[in-house]
Amino acid sequence: MPLPSVFFLAGFVTLFGFLLLFVASKIGEVVRDRVKSETYECGLPVEEKVDTKISIKFYLTAILFIIFDIEIIFLYPWAVSLKEFLAQGLGWYSLIGVGIFLLIFIFGLWWEIKSKALDWE
């Protein structure tokens, strides 16, 4: 069982990451400059506005993109392993399972369109 090797690799990556951070903190220098600590806005001076309001539609669009992007990520392994399911005689079970999965997401897309979640007007 490859579980000990997974733990070893996770521990190694964690320790190596901490080692790199430690070495960088000892070698590097801290620059305390107001201009360098500001965000860069195309060469323009930073204007701080207290009443800046960002529309919730930007967040909603990003969340919906992530949800449907994850759907594609879940469909890819199914498509890759479909030949194995067919060879074992489990093709219909696999097709029914992914069909239910797609129906849930098609219902979600229908709900988004019906509730006008993506309308920008």
Which pLDDT score is estimated for 15?
97
As beta bridge partners, residue 41 has 44
User: What is d(CA 16, CA 22) in angstroms, rounded to the nearest whole number?
Assistant: 10
User: What is d(CA 27, CA 60) in angstroms, rounded to the nearest whole number?
Assistant: 42
Of residues 35, 19, 16, the one with CA closest to residue 27? 19
Check: CATH 1.25.10 for 3-114? no
**What are the domain boundaries of the chain?**
3-114
The mean pLDDT value for 14-34 works out to 88
Distances in whole angstroms, Cα of residue 12 to Cα of each of 8, 22, 24, 109: 6, 15, 18, 42
Write the single-letter amino acid at 18: F
pLDDT per position as a tens digit, 30-87:
777 777 667 766 766 666 666 667 777 788 888 888 888 888 888 888 888 888 888 8
Helical (H) or strand (E) element with 37: helix 34-37
